Structure 1
Amino acid sequence: MDGTHIPASVPTNEQMAYTNRHGTQSQNVLAVCDHDMRFVYVYAGWEGSTHDARVFESDCECTLTSQFHPQVRQLVFISGKYYLVDAAYKMMPGFLAPFKGGRVSRVGQGRGRGQGPKELFNTRYSQLRNVVERSFGVLKQQFAYLKGPVPYSYMQTQINVVIACCALHNFLRETQPSDDHFMQYEQEDIQVQAEAGGNPYPNIQPLAVPPHEIAAWNAMREEMANQMHAGSRRRRFTSSYGLRQIYNKP
């Protein structure tokens, strides 16, 4: 899960609200993709000045109170599964964020050597989650409209175009697996510049999630990181022991 900015064309009296941190007008789009670079959820239309975390909170509010927001498609929660979100989003049940302050190594760098549990977790987490950044990269390469400039039209029309492009993106992914754009971004180690939403820890009103649920979710992440680190150490020890056996053979 992540947010991306799509250029927007709005009346003069609305430009301030749609002006993002780069000084241009855009709509902030929240999207979820699967590991095959297909979009499974799109929430478009927020003003460009809105922080990713605020869009996320609004989306969750609509999901948690969907009877009052029937026009918003709900996120689907499956037991044992969770959405990967970055540090800009709230860590709570159903959403897994990285540890704040933990370093992230590049893909293949050191293979976890010298990393503590949190650092190793963040590195592997980043390797998994960059699929959403690669998906945005493909989407904008496929449809020049999404890179601007955008001709003036009603905002609802601009929102519909974004959603239609995401649907066409999925269609191309399923019917044209050898598409040049997908082939370019299919490599997991490709470096794609993420679109930060500004201050990663904004002062916004948190969702009403019981503290004990958040504590349990944080404890689950800690345990996951510890098990991951222990497994990495065991593999390194086994590999090192095997090499010693080979080289010490009479």
Structure 2
Amino acid sequence: MGAYGSLFFYQWLYQIRSRIDKSQRHSSVLYGKRRVDEILQGHVKNCLVAFRMEPHIFELLASYLRRGNLIKDKTIKVEEKLGFFLYMLSHNASFDDLQLEYQHSGWTFHEYIKSFFDIIPILSCRFLRHQSIDEPHPKIAGDPRFFPYFENCIGAIDGTHVPMTVTPDKAAPFRNRKGTLSQNVMVACDFDLNFTFISCGWEGLATDARVLQSAMNHGFKVSEGKFYLFDGGYANTTSFLAPYRGVRYHLKEFGHGRHRPQNYKELFNLWHAVLRNHVERAIRILKKRFPILRVGTYHQIENQVKIPAATTVFRNIIRMHKGDEKWLDNQPNNIPPIEFVDLPDDDDHQHGHRAEGNYNFISFEPSQPDITQVEYDVEEEEAEEADTDELQILEEGDVVGARVGEKRVAAADPGGMDEQVGEKRVPTAGPALPWKEAKKPKKTGDAMVEVMQQYVNIKKKQAEDEVALLTKESAGSTNGQEFSISKCISLVHKMDSIACHERARAFKVFKNAKNRETFITSAAEDEESAVMWRRSEMAELPT
């Protein structure tokens, strides 16, 4: 091609390219931060729908993340990054959805969403913990249905399935009995409906018992003398109490128009189900607030398994600040129900021979690479150490409570997650809600409560009678050998005055211990008198 040809070609290429529309994609005036600010400063319902929490809780959480250097301010502020992540959880938003809503590039959302997934292990360690409480929970101590039978119960455990999106070559162990793909998630909660533990990532084929055993192998422990409640999918141990098998258990089986408990096993199962219903209720509320737990997502497997943990952490924080949950009752789902995945019921128990737990994640194990993100500047560390009476370092636990004598009061967390109570902040194991003194059991006229009390009294009386009987038998063992049946029979055979046909009937007289003693004692003094007494006793026997 000559010089003129080259010139013509480039001129033609320029004309073609100049016709291409080079309009900017992210052109909205509500760019990122302005969009988040509009939601936070607008009607509270807008924030509830977009981020599933009230504006003041959102701002406290952002401040906490900033102060702990878990998420840092750079070109984009912490509030905006938190808005990205919560919007994704609330709407199962893809990166394209986020670009449309917040007008940033896909790379921006990829980086910041990943940064939040990286700190979920740290947050779950801090906010999913059980408080160390010696006294029975007020809901148990103040209710004669449960106290003293469940006074050492500290919560309930249940398993639930959460959808997974995996490639066909990895799908087999995730395929549950409904034929869909899911992970088997185990959660524990207390009677304030706070989540205290979570194990995620086990494949959908894994049994509940296997998930629990794995959690125990990785640090999930129950204080000595305490126990959790769970359903029939688990085995009874000293730390975990299951209901009786073979009789009614679920609350719907004792519902309106149905028979009341017919025996002590059904009565125990009824009270057991009432208490264990706390964890079922907590799971229902969690999935209503974050319907992403009902659908497949767009993330890598390693991040998908952290989504249930992230939602439980945020819900605990919301409850800690008394966030509203009643609005969820009449709130339509952010995600169309038609997208919900058909999952096994929590009561479905299946075999898990192909489940390996390769992606298992529990709230007691923050991964080491994630911890590197929590780095304090030297000046910040010195400032915090100088003020330890007011603030506690994040590693000590963020949600705090103070215990004075027999009372518990709510206190502030070191990252500003709550308002301060008193002059100091004292670290504790997990989220602290106001803890009221246990009320004395109230008198009640409930017939089933009376039946339960009568049953307990009967068992106590039986135990006392058995002890008394054993004591009496032990004391009389010597006399029993002295006046035995064999000795009576031996004396009868030595008495020539007793005919053979009389001896057979005489043996019936000796079944009574007093008769044996009378016969042996009288025979030692006067054999003839003993024979006459024996014949008179034989005459009274039924023919």
The TM-score with structure 2 as length reference comes to: 0.32
Q: Please, which runs of 5 or more residues in structure 2 have no aligned partner?
A: 1-156, 331-343, 354-448, 458-543
Find out whether 1:149 has 2:296 as its counterpart.
Answer: yes
Q: Structure 1 residue 100 and structure 2 residue 100: aligned?
A: no
Given candidates 19, 24, 36, the residue that maps to 2:192 is 36
d(CA) in 1 for partners of 2:202, 2:450: 37
Provide the C-alpha distance between the structure 1 equivalents of 2:176 and 2:276, rounded to a whole number of angstroms.
24
Aligned residue pair count: 191
Pairing 1:22–2:178 present? yes
Alignment of 1:203-222 (within 5 A): none
AA matched with 2:453: G
How big is the shift at 1:100? 0.7
Q: Structure 1 residues 111 and 13 mapped into 2: Cα distance closer, same or farther (>3 Å)?
A: closer
CA drift at 1:110: 9.1
Write the distance in 1 (CA, Å) between the matches of 2:265 and 2:158.
21
Residues 1:194 and 1:11: Cα distance change in structure 2 (over 3 Å): closer
Are 2:387 and 1:231 equivalent residues in the alignment?
Answer: no
1:203 Cα deviation from its structure 2 partner: 9.2
CA RMSD of the aligned region, Å? 3.1
State the partner residue of 2:20.
Answer: none
Quick one: structure 1 residues 132 and 143, their matched pair in 2 at CA, closer, same or farther if it must change by over 3 Å? same
Distance 1:3 1:32, change over 3 A: same
Distance across 2 between alignment mates of 1:95 and 1:20 = 25
Task: Indicate yes or no: 2:272 matched with 1:125.
Answer: yes
Deviation (angstroms), 1:233: 6.2
What SS is found at the alignment partner of 1:103?
coil
Tell me the CA shift for residue 177 of structure 1.
4.3
Deviation of the 1:194 alpha carbon:
5.1
Secondary structure of 1:79's counterpart equals: coil
Cα distance change on mapping 1:135 and 1:112 into 2, 3 Å:
same
Task: Find the aligned partners of 1:41 and 1:100 in 2 and give their Cα distance.
Answer: 26
Partner of 1:198: 349
> How many angstroms does 1:79 deviate by?
3.3
> Is 1:140 the counterpart of 2:291 in the alignment?
no
Shift in Å at residue 228 of structure 1? 8.7
| Kept after mapping to 2: 8 A contact 1:20/1:49 | yes
1:79 aligns with 2:224: yes
* Larger RCO (CA under 8 A, 6+ residues apart): 1
Q: Identity of paired residues, percent?
A: 33
Moved more, 21-30 or 153-162: 153-162
Looking at structure 2, the residues matched to 80 and 111 of structure 1 have their Cα atoms a distance apart, in angstroms, of 36
Is contact 1:133-1:194 (8 Å) kept? no
C-alpha contact 1:85 1:95 (8 A) present in aligned 2? yes
Change (3 A) 1:93 1:181: farther
Residues 36, 29 of structure 1: alpha-carbon distance in 2 compared, 3 angstrom cutoff: same
- Deviations along 1:207-250, one digit per CA (max 9) or x if unpaired, are xxxxxxxxxxxxxxxxxxxx995406699xxxxxxxxxxxxxxx
Point out where structure 1 has 5 or more consecutive residues left out of the alignment: 63-71, 185-192, 205-226, 236-250
> How many Å separate the matches in 2 of 1:16 and 1:88?
22
Which 10-residue stretch deviates more, 108-117 or 167-176?
Answer: 108-117
- In the TM superposition, what is the alpha-carbon distance from 1:75 to its structure 2 partner? 2.4
**Quick check: 1:52–1:197 contact (8 Å CA) kept in 2?**
no
Q: 2-side partners of 1:181 and 1:232: how far apart?
A: 43
Give the equivalent residue in structure 2 for 1:65: none
1:163 aligns with 2:163: no
2:212 pairs, out of 56, 65, 77, with 56
> Alpha-carbon deviation of 1:112?
9.0
Segment drifting more, 79-88 vs 2-11: 79-88
SS at match of 1:43: strand
Q: Matches of 2:182 and 2:160 in 1, distance apart?
A: 10
Whole-Å Cα distance in 1 between the matches of residues 160 and 194 of structure 2?
Answer: 15
Aligned to 1:174: 320
Measured in 2, the distance between the counterparts of 1:234 and 1:196 equals 30
For 2:239 and 2:328, locate their aligned partners in 1 and report how far apart those are by CA, in whole Å: 29
| Residue aligned with 2:191, SS | coil
Work out whether 1:3 is the aligned partner of 2:159: yes
Q: Contact conserved, 1:117 with 1:228, CA < 8 A, in 2?
A: no
